[in-house]
Amino acid sequence: MVLKELVPTRSKDPLGGIQQIRGIWEQVVGQEIGKLTQPQRYKGGVLIVAVQAAPLAAELQSFDERMLVERLAGMGLEGVHSIRFQTGGLPDAAAGGEGCENIDQR
């Protein structure tokens, strides 16, 4: 039992796991952006978030990162110091939408 406390595991991080972040993510970013994004990993104060479309990833990185870090801290997650937004990685990212063309090849 003592060893479990001293040796970190993959699921253990200062925030109590990525599941805690995912649980409040939509409250932090809002419902609309929450549907297009998903926190993937947290390590060393950096949160990696998958984003459905590249233009949204660029906008979030450029304009909203600092605000989102502050909102996370306000909800008790002070360990996040930066967020990296990466395109792809969402379960329904290939389903079409912004940045995706559906071409009929008939």
Closest CA to 48 of 57, 56, 31, 9: 57
Give the whole-angstrom CA distance, residue 9 versus residue 4: 8
Q: Which stretch, 2-16, 30-44, 65-79, has highest mean pLDDT?
A: 30-44
Percent residues over pLDDT 90 in the chain: 44
pLDDT at 98 over 70: no
Percent residues over pLDDT 70 in the chain: 69
Reported in sequence order, the residue ranges of the chain that DSSP labels E, i.e. its strands, are: 37-43, 46-51, 82-87
Mean pLDDT of the region 15-38: 87
